[in-house]
Amino acid sequence: MEYEFRRDFINGKSIANFTMGHEAFSPWLEQEVGDDLTKVDSLLAKLENFNNKSQSTEQIIGKEYSVTFSYDDVEVVANNSLDPLTVPEQLEDDIDDFEQNTSAVCGREDFIIMLQSWYEFIKR
């Protein structure tokens, strides 16, 4: 998983860009976490305390995106994701592109490293 963090020079907003397959992490970071160091601290504490394979999963539901994590991985999903059964037939070919932007999965350790990097970036 590759990513880049930068600032919008006009409004000072933090921006996250992720590579293909992980695009959903960008809006999740920008909209659900933003520049709130307390949120990042809280997420890191939950993830680091989730150190037992016997624990199931934990989900944090946000306004636009939800994050679910387990011992092994973390998934971010847009709350308004379309059910594939409701997609009109003429749009079925485009559903893969849509899904790329509405959900992403990565390993828990990679997610922790990314959150730590985001923390350092927004702290500046």
Q: Tell me: the pLDDT tens digits for 20-56?
A: 989 999 999 999 999 999 999 999 998 887 766 666 8
**Which pLDDT score is estimated for 80?**
81
Are 37 and 123 spatial neighbours (Cβ–Cβ below 8 Å)? yes
Query: Strand, helix or coil at 4?
Result: strand
**Which pLDDT score is estimated for 53?**
64
Sign, CA torsion 21/23/25/28: negative
Which residue range forms the structural domain that includes residue 15? 3-123
The H or E element containing residue 59 is strand 58-61
Average pLDDT over residues 90-113: 75
> Count of domains in the chain?
1
Q: Letter for the amino acid at 13?
A: K
**Which pLDDT score is estimated for 33?**
96
